[in-house]
Amino acid sequence: MFFDWSSTDFKPNGNEWEYYPFAYRHDMRYDIDARNCTLPAIVEFPNLMRQKSWIAIVVSTLVSMYLFVILAIVCDDYLVPAMERLCYTLRMTYDVAGATFLAASTSAPELFVNFVGTFVTNGDIGLGTIVGSSVFNILVIAGVCGIFTQPTKLDWWPVTRDTAWYLIAIASLTYVLWDSLVMWYEAFALLLLYISYVIQLSFDRRIQNLVRHEHAESELLDEDPMTREEEPLKGFRDHVCAKPKTEYNFYQWTWWAIKYPAELMLACTVPSARSIFFLSMISAILWISLISYLLTWFLTILGYNLNIPDAIMGLTVLAAGTSVPEVASSYIVSKKGYGSMAICNAIGSNTFDILVCLGLPWLLKILIYQQKIDIDSTALTITTAMLVVTAAVLYLGLLARRFVMGKTVGYLSIIFYALFLIIACTLEILLNKEKMCDIQD
């Protein structure tokens, strides 16, 4: 019969592949399986800059840097102010607001990056980003707030509460990754843990009244973002018509010129938080989802050209870039004297990252495709367990300083962050036995 043939009957000889393109493509996949190698994540994205060259490195680097700038603007000028108005409307406390809505809003990039990593690249770049972002949030935010702001006295209760939940999240994730397989009930359990965390926060004031004798009513969010004089919410005119001051130097003018196209584009597409803040929040989240996809794409191109594994790209560059909103928002609130809100934002973001940003995409993919999720990197399991050390360093440092966030805790956090990156990247290189296919070959 005419259709009774096998793809191996059409192995390419000379230009024969031009007459049997589909048979040749099937035979190429057979050759890939025979080589016992894994296709790089770059093949899951549109066919752009797959040829290794220095031009691809320069272009992907510049585009990624500008995408980080856009991400910081959309989070700081639109998403976070909209969340501030939401928290004020709900009359929440500073620490609960920092651990829930503010943490969820600033963790939106990690959520969408892991959606891309789970459904598009099918690799470890999403998981690596979550783990790297967790360390970045804990140590770098504490370092920035401790070094560049005035020493702040923290309330021991919210810091202890959120650190305990963060340790529970780390232990749960380590258990899930132990066999390098993710089952539907494991992903569902992560989401249930976050629901339990939110329920506990809703009863937090009652629990505090049982545990401690004093409870400060001043912790309530009593400052209306619409009427505050310090750092007021920006409107459309503020974004479009704002010009640098005359005393600005050349570098400040250059930075304004670089940012202005992004400011103009976002001002024309995202409503100001001074108007309908809920619509502003939704529009900002849509922008974050698009930017996260583009960031993952161009950083995958960069990692492919530099022969850097996806997990390392996630642990370092992508983790730091997607954590820009957390650093900016925590620094702003810490400078105002709300140190507990800054630290709860950092720790709460990590709890959200682990339980929701990983659990939700995993659960959806397992339910849609009816298959388990394989974790390629063995080192990431060890790196995840190391997150306990980072949480312990911050909490014990604060405990030793009587919960005063100062330069000592700040420098200690930065040193341990550098050590973590060195150990994590070394483990990834030593334990990564995966052989990547050369798609150019």
Provide Rg for the chain, Cα atoms.
24
Most confident of 140-144, 163-167, 270-274: 163-167
Name residues whose C-beta falls within 8 Å of residue 267's C-beta, 6 or more positions apart in sequence.
Answer: 236, 239, 240
State in Å, rounded, how far the first CA of the chain is from the last one.
35
Could you tell me if 289 and 265 are in contact, meaning their C-beta atoms sit under 8 angstroms apart? no
Which band of pLDDT confidence, cut at 50, 70 and 90, is reported for residue 219? low
Average pLDDT taken over every residue of the chain: 78
350-373 tens-digit pLDDT:
888 889 988 999 999 999 988 888
Which band of pLDDT confidence, cut at 50, 70 and 90, is reported for residue 164? very high
Closest CA to 318 of 120, 114, 122: 114
Q: State the pLDDT at residue 186.
A: 93
**What six digits make up the tokens of 133?**
């972002």
- The mean pLDDT of 293-318, rounded to a whole number, is 80
What does 293-341 look like in DSSP terms, one character per residue? HHHHHHHHHHHHHTT--HHHHIIIIIHHHHTHHHHHHHHHHHHTT-HHH
Domain range annotation of the chain: 53-235+272-431
Could you tell me if 379 and 190 are in contact, meaning their C-beta atoms sit under 8 angstroms apart? no
Q: State the pLDDT at residue 30.
A: 46
Answer whether residue 168 shows pLDDT above 90: yes
Q: State the pLDDT at residue 227.
A: 75
400-430 tens-digit pLDDT:
988 888 888 889 999 999 998 888 888 877 8
Q: Is domain 53-235+272-431 given the CATH code 3.90.600.10 in the classification? A: no
Answer whether residue 241 shows pLDDT above 90: no
**What six digits make up the tokens of 193?**
């843990």
Q: State the pLDDT at residue 402.
A: 87
Which band of pLDDT confidence, cut at 50, 70 and 90, is reported for residue 220? low
Answer whether residue 27 shows pLDDT above 80: no
Crossing angle of helices 156-177 and 204-211, in 10° steps, is 120
Q: State the pLDDT at residue 169.
A: 92
Could you tell me if 97 and 341 are in contact, meaning their C-beta atoms sit under 8 angstroms apart? yes
Q: State the pLDDT at residue 82.
A: 83
Q: State the pLDDT at residue 353.
A: 86
- Specify the range with the lowest mean pLDDT, choosing from 77-81, 136-140, 291-295, 375-379: 375-379
Which band of pLDDT confidence, cut at 50, 70 and 90, is reported for residue 254? confident
More confident residue, 250 or 14: 250
Q: State the pLDDT at residue 370.
A: 86
Q: State the pLDDT at residue 187.
A: 93
Answer whether residue 26 shows pLDDT above 50: no
Q: State the pLDDT at residue 282.
A: 85
Q: State the pLDDT at residue 218.
A: 40
Answer whether residue 6 shows pLDDT above 90: no
Q: State the pLDDT at residue 62.
A: 93
More confident residue, 94 or 344: 344
Calpha distance 360→339 (Å, rounded): 30
Helices (H), 4-155: 21-35, 54-74, 80-89, 94-99, 101-106, 108-116, 125-135, 141-148
What does 149-197 look like in DSSP terms, one character per residue? S--EEPPHHHHHHHHHHHHHHHHHHHHHHTTTEE-HHHHHHHHHHHHHH
Q: State the pLDDT at residue 319.
A: 78
Answer whether residue 217 shows pLDDT above 50: no
Q: State the pLDDT at residue 66.
A: 92
Decide: residue 45, CB within 10 A, 0-12 exposed, 13-18 middle, 19+ buried: buried
- Give percent of the chain with pLDDT exceeding 90: 11
- Give percent of the chain with pLDDT exceeding 70: 80
Answer whether residue 185 shows pLDDT above 90: yes
